[in-house]
Amino acid sequence: MDIDQVRTFLAVAANGSFLEAASRLYVTQSTVSARIQNLEAYLRTKLFVRNRSGATLTPAGKRFLRHAKTLLLTMEQARHDVGLPGRYRATLTVGARIALWDAALLPRWVGRMRAQMPDVSIRSEIGFEEDLMRRLIEGTLDIGLMYTPQHSHGLQVEHLFDENLVLVSSDPHKPWPDENYVYVDWGPGFYAEHSNSFPELERPALLANIGWLAIQLVLENGGSCFLPKRMADEVTATGRLGRVPDSPQFRLPAYVIYSSNAESGAYQQAVDILREVVAEMTAP
């Protein structure tokens, strides 16, 4: 098995077609077929069922999918690490929910790390809790920031700060809830508090899994949504949206997760810098 076979497997799985995968990889369809056949021979199992509509994963193919993603990511990270100039002593891969990257918080952290740790290379990524936790456990992610972490042996879960979720609207003085209210999935804690505060509220017609997407929907079509105050302040400062008066606020804890047995001092230094940035940005 080689990395081209894994990359080809992922292309076929994503596009559901050998022909489309060949187009995306800039190789011939026969090359794609040969790579998949060799991969199946190595794994001793069938990965795809081919039919007129394309190619679908077999049960074994579905099980291999997660491993293939990890293999490709590990290889890419290895190539990056090995190819670093000698002036770098370490590489840190950090991943977080997109809302935590927004409104300067984590970009400021990365900038501070680059200033204080110039001999450390930093890889920044966006992800959701399930994927971030899986990669932390596998060791392909060094530091993760999220709202609803899981506790796992060997990982340190540290509370960083509490987001305040506030209600913003394209027409703050319009009776709420409006027909274009966008429910943002901020996790089970928000769901419980939201349900308790609005027990009579019907299931919203619009749902989004990230705050950035909710903002785009509201800006384009009108409506409302709950956002972290950091993000809300940016859009309300421009006058594009406004805070809904007398609306409830919800608490959303944010956490940093990293290895309890980290051998590199870069881990602890990075987390220390993160604490400093958070203290500055959350100070009254």
pLDDT, mean of residues 136-140: 81
Q: pTM value?
A: 0.72
Q: Tell me, what's the pLDDT at 88?
A: 64
* Fold exhibited by the domain 3-80: Arc Repressor Mutant, subunit A (1.10.10)
Question: Are 224 and 244 within 8 A, CB to CB?
Answer: yes
Q: How do residues 199-241 score in pLDDT, each as one tens digit? A: 988 888 999 999 999 999 999 999 999 999 989 998 999 898 9
pLDDT, mean of residues 168-193: 91
Would you put residue 154 in left (φ > 0), alpha (ψ -120 to 50) or beta? Answer: left
pLDDT, mean of residues 132-139: 84
What is the residue extent of each domain of the chain?
3-80, 87-284
What mean pLDDT value characterizes the chain? 88
Distance CA 27, CA 189 (A): 47
Q: What is the DSSP string of 155-182?
A: EEEEEEEEEEEEEEESSTTS-SS-TTEE
Distance CA 29, CA 274 (A): 48
Q: Could you tell me which CATH number the domain at 87-284 has? A: 3.40.190.290
Say whether 87-284 and 3-80 share the same fold. no
Tell me phi and psi for residue 227, to 5 degrees: -135, 155
Q: Tell me, what's the pLDDT at 85?
A: 59
**DSSP annotation of 34:** H
Sign (positive/negative) of CA torsion 57, 58, 60, 62? positive
pLDDT, mean of residues 47-59: 88
Residue percentage of the chain with pLDDT more than 90: 45
